[in-house]
Structure 1
Amino acid sequence: MQSSYNILLALSELFQGKNLPVDYVDGAPKGLQSEFIDTNTINNPNGYLQNGFGNVNIHLPKLTGDLHNGNRFKELTDIIIPLLDDVTQVTDNGTFHFQIYDDKGTFEDPDRDGMSYYNIRFEFQTL
């Protein structure tokens, strides 16, 4: 059995060395107002996770005029999406397979003034 934390750590390893903003595994500090990535799994009612879904949320400050930073979102999604596109990651804590489930797009960040985020939903399976 794998914990959701092991799944997120494997995902974080995929992002290392790829010139991405800081990745907060399962929650970023409250009030953070800079570029960052937040990853989480979606709760499984069975109490453990062997396969399921999660989110990669890319948070960015808005541009002047309250506009989303579309160019920067594109730069970052161009890096992240191939990392999650039918990829198997072997770690000390297990082997995990990731694939893109849905590209949700850009949203207002309700917890951070002047910020927006881009949501990518992924599917995972422990092997």
Structure 2
Amino acid sequence: MVDHATPNLPSRSFDATITFYAALGFEIVFRDAGWLILDRGGLMLEFFPDPGLNPASSSFGSCLRVDDLDAFCTRCRVAGIPEATAGWPRIQPARLEASGMRIAYLLDPDGSLLRLVQNPTT
């Protein structure tokens, strides 16, 4: 196995987290009462229970680097995630940032911000 890191994000409800991320193509790798791991083609997210979390004040986040940002954003919209600037869950469309990277922003139901970053083409 290659060294790697995975984000650890809060979940108010593992069942709700699984439902949300399953619509985006994630599958359960591991689940018990205290930990949940989801995977989507090498993108791995880990969750810990935080039933008292207030999504409006959550400061959790991560970058997900993807080969096809447009396809991932389309999958989000097909899953019913609204394109919006307030509320959660929501997605903000991809745009070219000052850094030169194309990035979209996904806020999950628990208020975690996932920056969706287009991998560079080689």
Indicate whether the TM-score tops 0.5: no
Pairwise TM-score range, normalised by the shorter structure: 0.3 to 0.5
